[in-house]
Amino acid sequence: MDQYLLATADTAEWQKLYNIAQADKSHGLWENYQNIDLDTYEHMIVTIRDGEPASFQGIYNNGRWPSNVSRFCNRAYINPYFRNIGQGLEITYNNVKYTLDNYAQWSKDVLFISRGVQYDNAEISWKKFEKFCKFLIKNTGYNLIYDDRLYQCCANNCKDCYQFCVWYDPIGTKEYVNIPSISKDEWQQLVAI
């Protein structure tokens, strides 16, 4: 059974896994893990499996969205040991389920996961994202909502700042939250930075 810790910079399990993440250059997003400042996160959750730090994921707002909205699974990372033995997807959906099971603890109305477009191909990325959303719904048992629009996830008006999102909105607040979004065709017209 997994255990979950709310980490601070001094948490030994966080330090151990973060050091692994910084050294892990086996994936295309390795630069995202070089300078994580826990002070910019509302919460950083570390998953412990079989006595070892298995993953971390942040709950994050940092002024990017209205205060009652946060992205979770931000800078999600899974220890390569657990990825290599085929437990990555299980850890992922268990982390999502844990976050949603503890929804009241985060003091948010809306939580969401975002994923950027890969290989500059919005249509293929959308199909992969839709499959991921269906996987999460099936394995967590939560009613998550998603669509094929790309939502602004940072201040710039560039391709990298628009991402597909899956939302947990148990009290129906999302429709009143003003997060800019664009279609896949509009996204195609933006420039990358």
Does the model's pTM come out above 0.75? yes
Query: Is the distance from CB of 39 to CB of 45 less than 8 angstroms?
Result: no
What pLDDT score was predicted for residue 1?
A: 86
Closest to 101 (Cα-Cα) out of 141, 138, 54, 67:
141
The owner of tokens 């790309």 is 150
Q: What is the pLDDT of residues 86-130, one digit of tens each?
A: 999 999 999 999 999 999 999 999 999 999 999 999 999 999 999
Structure tokens at 37: 């400042």
> What distance in Å separates the CA atoms of residue 115 and residue 132, rounded to the nearest whole number?
10
If one counts every other C-beta atom within 10 angstroms of the C-beta of residue 171, the result is 9
Query: Is the distance from CB of 2 to CB of 54 less than 8 angstroms?
Result: yes
Average per-residue pLDDT for the chain: 96
Which stretches of the chain score pLDDT less than 70?
none
What pLDDT score was predicted for residue 49?
A: 98
What pLDDT score was predicted for residue 37?
A: 96
